[in-house]
A and B are shown apart, each in its own frame.
Chain A
Amino acid sequence: MVSAIYICHWPDIDAAYLLCELLVHRNYHNDIPDAHWLVARFAKLFLELPKDKRTPFLEDLGITYTTYWGADDIFLLSVSRSNVNAMLAVTLLQQMHLIMEQFFLHQHKQLREREARGDRPQNNTEPVFTREAVLDNNALIYELLDECVDFGVIQITDYNILKEYIKMEMNVGAGDISGGGTENIELSSDSDLDTDYMRQSLRSMKKKKNSHSKMQSIKSTHNKAVRADVDSQAVEKLVNSSIVRTQVLPVSWRLKGIFYSKNEIYIDIIETCNFTYDLESATIKSNEILGVCMVRSYLSGMPVVKLGLNEERLSQVEYDGDSQSDSDHGNQLQEEDIDEEDGEDIEAEVPLSQDSEQEPEPKLKKKLKVPLTNVQFHLCVELAKIYKNNLIRFTPPDDQFQLFSFRVEQQRRKAKAPLLLIDPVYRIVAEQNRLQIMCTITTNFKKKLHCRKLMVRVPLHPSLFPLSNSDKDSFRFRAELGEVRYRVDTSEVLWLIVDLPGSKKTVRMMAELHLGDTKHSTMAISKYFRSASESAKRRTDTENDELDLSDLGNIHRSESSKPDETINETLPDPQFTPEATIDSDDEALAELDKLYHVNGASSSLFARLQRQVDGNSFSDIMVDFEIPMLTYSGLRVTYIRVDEESMKYTCFPWVRYLTQANSDPTGTTNLGRYRFRLGPSNFKTT
């Protein structure tokens, strides 16, 4: 039970003066002092703590502060006086943050749709939960805080239900909420396939038609509630009281009286690979799969869905790690076989045929073992039933939600072959002042599958490869598939392949650039790797407090394995350290500044950013891709059945699989990186 919740904005924590600002607050108990005083007090205490002691919990004068940091310097703070359930308090903040984000996202989308109607919604990376958004919607948030929490006890946090309850802002775009508006909240739209998008837009078109014809019974109540004339209080009350009912019903996440003319359920199993490969030693350093099962349901009434997977030990009851290396190889082969069959089955998203739906017993593939770990289910899943018959039984919320998430740790089964392998060679041709980059992709998936949106990002660190700017057309490439670009701002060579069929086992590419100073590059590379190998032996430490190098080093450090240590100090000849070259870059920049009369501050910021970007992609080749119709873990939906007691309709289930890797260069997360660490053998000089 929390006493109050505050939403605050604190941009630059370690600035000389306090910038912590209280945006919105709500008290639930009367046992605490004034909000502004409390927040100021908290900020003061927080500042006084050394950085490594800044935990999410802080106790002072008998009041415990719990913080939850969101993006954009927003943080949520709750206070309590007694020994409350801390986990409840933190989850509450997390949920509140999530809900508000969803509200803002929705609003944001509506606004943008209005601005550019008809345009395909773009990848939504810009932040929505900002100080401005909070201030704009203060009344909405106040209502949310009031509605979700009563007496400091959480009541309801389901976005789909809340959005109908709190209608204050939702009226903004009442006319043009298309189905797509809310669908992609959790699933970022870049993971959607083209076909998916087509379907979506089709559906939303349908919806619009429906609303025109005023046949209110066709779509779900929530759509109606949003769209219908808001002034009519009769409707409002009806909807509101239905919410009151759902709040206290066993199924709190689903409204009653939802009706669709066509009943569909979409199940997406999306696996994100987290993969690190060391090119020098040709070993897989980490190979982890993070999977989610996203469901979008457009089902009438109160359906019960049963879902079977080819995973015997879903509930982890018996899982004792026996699916280890010894049985691994065999498994894998079988898996591949099954993949082949299933791949055909589900090709092109054929809806599972009607008869498979009716099949009473799940056809579980007995021999297949998918060692899922850390499965977590949505609250709509009846957990007790999973143990009994290994079926996931649930009553889905309307629209999109995440049914379960899982992780496959591949530490034990390193034998599993990677989907893609890359073999890059940097060749420095000294006499011509050229750098040639040769790159080969080797694929390892079924012939019928296609890898989409493949992007290989080959880093060209400016300190290692100072490019000559004199020659305009210095960049040339030749590729069997796709096209190659040089990106200046991040200093990378990008190789884009829109569609790579599995039948093509290897693809090659060559790119050529002009180097400013080949000698320098050769030296720098050899020095770099020598120092790295030395330090691997001797374990040097950086001891450099400069921001740039610590950033750079930081990234290397934490990447589990050894080769790249820091480059400074241990080098015998400081002239060729990246540090030195960066300095020389700086000088060049300063000259440019003089030339263009730009003040120094901005340029130094640029240099810093540049360095950070460099640090990010210094020694790793990143790969982004999507492979539809494949789950790397081999997880499959084997059985699905939808039952509705009263209506007895037939339902169209759609199942999709996707394996992907994204390395968002701006994101801080370490998830979903598919990378190859370079070693000295990748660099050649002729």
Chain B
Amino acid sequence: MNDLHLVMHGLAIKKHGSAEDVAGVMGLEVETVRETLTKLVAAKRAVEAQGRYLLSPAARMLLDADYGRFYEDLRASPAFQAGYAGFERLNNTLKQLITDWQTIPVRGERTPNDHSDEDYDANIIDRLGDLHERAEEVLNKLASALPRMAIYREKLQRALEKAEQGAIAWVSDAKIESYHTVWFELHEDLLRLMRRERSE
């Protein structure tokens, strides 16, 4: 895979991302990403505002065509297929878990979790740890076919450990690389590689 493609792919996942964001999620050197982004901007394939980048509509079409071309082998790989199927299974568990984290059921009606009940929160972080152990297996399968997938394992692990240590924003805060943020970026990454549509 060439750097140009990876930078564009990274920018599709980290929309409005900085060079550091794209480098972090794609496992590239920041300098390489910066140079590539400069080229993309010069070729009008991306626009820059305050150090953050956005793909142009034409670049998005080119990128979509790339997925068809570059990942045929990957899509046919049994390890990657097994990993992807495993991810989709866990995805439902994760979504329910995040819902349970954000809301507390009171007689069937869900009310926002204000995180005043430490036991309730601890139980969900425990479930998240359990899910993470299963996610590691899935990510190992994915990484055996596409090594950069290991980055997600590390990012998820980092978010989990912070949450376990009491920094609970790392479960689902949308503005940081919380477990939920990273998980959905991974999902977006996989959907693009597999050329699937998001169902919800």
Q: Do A and B come from one complex?
A: no
The interface of chain A, by Cβ under 8 A from chain B, is none
